[in-house]
Amino acid sequence: MAEPFLIPDDFRAFMKQVVRRLDAPGAARELLDAEDALRHETGYGGRVDGGDQYRFTYIAADGHHKWEVQLAEAAIRDISDGLLIEVMGERFDLVRTAHREPTGYPLLIWGEYGDDALVARDRAELRHALESLHALAQGAPRMVRMWSASDDQVVAMLSGDDCALYVVESLEGYGTSCGDAAGTDAFELVDPDGLPFAVPRHDCVPWAAARDALLRFALRGDLGPAIRLEGRIPSGLLMMGDVDRKAALAARGEAPETLAGSSLPRMLAQAADFSEETLDEPTGRFTGRPRPAGPPLQAEEMSAWARRLIEVLHARELIELRAASLDEIAAHLGGLLQAHGAEAARSLDAAEWLAGEIGAVRGVHKIFATGGDLQIALRRSRGA
């Protein structure tokens, strides 16, 4: 039911940002049609039905509710200029008043493929999965999503021994973990929409504390007293609260119910293939000495890897090919992989550079893969 929404200062700041986007030289209005095409720390929004109307979700600073408002472009400009102080909107509570009954088992998701997931029937396997993801995060940051058996949801951002925890759905509402306030830098990864996401170090807690909190969350839907939370969260993550386990699985297909059936054993093997380090089970860390460079792969092996990479990218609609021989494309791409494939699998910067080089290969019409997309595809295709 609609009720008056008194424009707060942070929402006005959001509308000022929207006006700048609308007035930017060469701005394409058709790019604003997604519901989260316009993002701000206080919410998100987008154009409705390609017309003059825009719908915005504003997340209240108290963490207890959100507002949905629909505005014409003229109203957006009036709010930005301070001429409009109140509009009609709908208010929704974000904090539940009662626990949901548990149904099924906790769910862990760490990638876009069907086997990048685990239905956690066994606590020991869940712990092993978390430790494996922590081990993989020693090489590159990664995002992990977890649902409890009652559909509470938390997002973990891992980088080395640091982990930021973002509760997007729980009985107590949303929140962000508080780490060392002296931390001023950040690490970056790619969110599910393929956009860069910066994680401040002051949101991070040590891995051991984060792991124990995640294991508790899977069963109880809260992180426990060892993790201090602030009632704030990036708006792009809060949107994930609308996706429960059932919806997540419907979009991906059936998830493995054993660790052996998931992608983690293969991912760990591929990580070990890039070095002589081995996974230490108790700590979940790679130990040992880096492997010295070995002899280069033969031309046929590089060409086979290139073909598999093209197939993975094409299956995900991340590449368009011209009318050319796949063997010819693979031959050209094989040389790039020989020189830069292993480095790109480790380094996001190298992967982004390699994506541009692949787009210039004769026979490739266009590539849509980000550096993160390409890293996933490289690891999927290399050891196939």
Is position 294 within any domain?
Answer: no
**115 and 87 co-located in one domain:** no
**115 and 149 co-located in one domain:** yes
**140 and 277 co-located in one domain:** yes
**315 and 369 co-located in one domain:** yes
pTM: 0.59
Give the up-direction half-sphere exposure of residue 155: CA atoms within 13 A in the CB hemisphere.
26
- Alpha carbons 354 and 356: distance in angstroms, whole number: 5
Boundary-marking domain end, from 235, 254, 287: 287
**142 and 283 co-located in one domain:** yes
Averaged over 234-251, what is the pLDDT?
Answer: 78
Is position 319 within any domain?
Answer: yes
Is position 292 within any domain?
Answer: no
Is the pLDDT at 302 greater than 90, yes or no? no
**323 and 358 co-located in one domain:** yes
> Which residues touch 232 (CB under 8 Å, ≥6 apart)?
61, 63, 174, 175, 176
Is position 183 within any domain?
Answer: yes
What pLDDT score does 25 carry?
85
Determine phi and psi for 270, rounding to 5 degrees.
-70, -40
CA 159 to chain centre: 13
Is the pLDDT at 190 greater than 90, yes or no? no
Mean pLDDT of the chain: 83
Could you tell me which residue, 155 or 296, shows the higher pLDDT? 155
Is the pLDDT at 192 greater than 70, yes or no? no
> Which residues touch 282 (CB under 8 Å, ≥6 apart)?
none
Largest CA distance in the chain: 70
Which whole-number Å values give the CA distances from 71 to 12, 28, 64, 75, 230, in the listed order? 13, 19, 23, 6, 31
The model's confidence at residue 279, banded by pLDDT at 50, 70 and 90, is: very low
**145 and 254 co-located in one domain:** yes
Is position 101 within any domain?
Answer: no
**204 and 159 co-located in one domain:** yes
Is position 321 within any domain?
Answer: yes
- Alpha carbons 109 and 114: distance in angstroms, whole number: 9
The model's confidence at residue 270, banded by pLDDT at 50, 70 and 90, is: low
**165 and 248 co-located in one domain:** yes
Boundary-marking domain end, from 261, 287, 313: 287
- Alpha carbons 281 and 229: distance in angstroms, whole number: 30
Give the structural domain span for 373.
299-382
Which residues lie across from 196 on neighbouring strands? Answer: 190
What pLDDT score does 174 carry?
83
What pLDDT score does 288 carry?
46
Averaged over 239-246, what is the pLDDT?
Answer: 76
Boundary-marking domain end, from 60, 93, 126: 93
Domain count for the chain, please give it.
Answer: 3
Nearest to 304 by CA among 280, 337, 274: 337
**127 and 244 co-located in one domain:** yes
Averaged over 128-133, what is the pLDDT?
Answer: 93
What pLDDT score does 284 carry?
41
Is position 8 within any domain?
Answer: yes
Is the pLDDT at 17 greater than 80, yes or no? yes
What pLDDT score does 235 carry?
72
What pLDDT score does 304 carry?
84
Q: Percentage of residues in the chain with pLDDT exceeding 90?
A: 36
Could you tell me which residue, 69 or 306, shows the higher pLDDT? 69
Q: What is the four-CA torsion angle of 65, 69, 74, 78, rounded to 10 degrees?
A: -20
**281 and 139 co-located in one domain:** yes
**283 and 304 co-located in one domain:** no
Is position 98 within any domain?
Answer: no
Residues 64-90 have pLDDT tens digits of 678 999 999 999 999 999 999 999 999
